[in-house]
């Protein structure tokens, strides 16, 4: 969780963020993540490469939600509702945990060389969450409400 706060602080230092502090997760991906976290390395891998953690929490995001609000919501959720001390929470947030490369690179990561959905990245993450007695959160946001999809529209990654 501290790495998420470090990344959030990194984002706030970037000119793109200063120019648009209410950018969406989609804009964050295009303007900050892709330019700074490339060559096959996701944000999470970059921050945790020396000491990777077992994933015990999956947080669903919406590409159209405001990034700053999303980070604040995640911090609030984990700080207030996690069933373990926040220092022991290791998050999987797709846009930060998966390398945001080309469509082919993303497809390769997600499918991990198999067309069997039980062997893809999300299935592996969900198994880790279950094995670690963790949790899955869908962070509510205005973007989802405005699209009239509701929270269930964001549960695809947790099938």
The 10s digit of each residue's pLDDT in 18-46 is 999 999 999 999 999 999 998 888 899 89
Q: What sign does the CA torsion over 126, 130, 134, 139 have?
A: positive
Alpha carbon 157 to its chain's center: 11
Q: Which helix (H) or strand (E) holds 48?
A: helix 43-48
Residue keyed to tokens 């159209």: 64
Q: What is the pTM of this model?
A: 0.83
Strand 91-93 to 57-60 pairing: parallel
Total residues belonging to the chain? 159
Residue keyed to tokens 């946001």: 141
Q: How is residue 42 written in tokens?
A: 């996701």
CB atoms within 10 A of CB 112: 13
pLDDT over 70 (residue 157): no
Alpha carbon distances (Å) from 127 to 100, 106, 120: 22, 20, 11
The 10s digit of each residue's pLDDT in 82-134 is 677 777 888 999 889 888 888 888 777 777 777 888 888 888 889 999 999 99
Contact (CB, 8 A) for 110 and 73: no
Cα(94)–Cα(40) distance, integer angstroms: 14
């Amino acid at each position: 969780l501290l790495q998420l706060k470090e990344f959030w602080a990194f984002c706030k230092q970037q000119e793109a963020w200063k120019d648009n502090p209410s950018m969406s997760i989609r804009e964050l991906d295009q303007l900050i993540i892709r330019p700074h976290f490339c060559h096959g390395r996701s944000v999470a891998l970059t921050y945790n490469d020396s000491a990777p953690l077992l994933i015990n929490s999956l947080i669903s995001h919406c590409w159209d939600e405001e990034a700053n609000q999303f980070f604040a919501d995640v911090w609030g959720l984990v700080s207030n509702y996690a069933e373990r001390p926040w220092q022991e929470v290791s998050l999987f947030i797709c846009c930060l945990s998966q390398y945001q490369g080309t469509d082919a690179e993303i497809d390769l990561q997600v499918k991990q060389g198999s067309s069997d959905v039980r062997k893809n990245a999300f299935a592996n993450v969900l198994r880790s969450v279950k094995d670690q007695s963790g949790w899955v959160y869908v962070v509510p946001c205005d973007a989802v409400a405005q699209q009239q999809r509701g929270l269930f529209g964001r549960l695809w990654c947790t099938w």
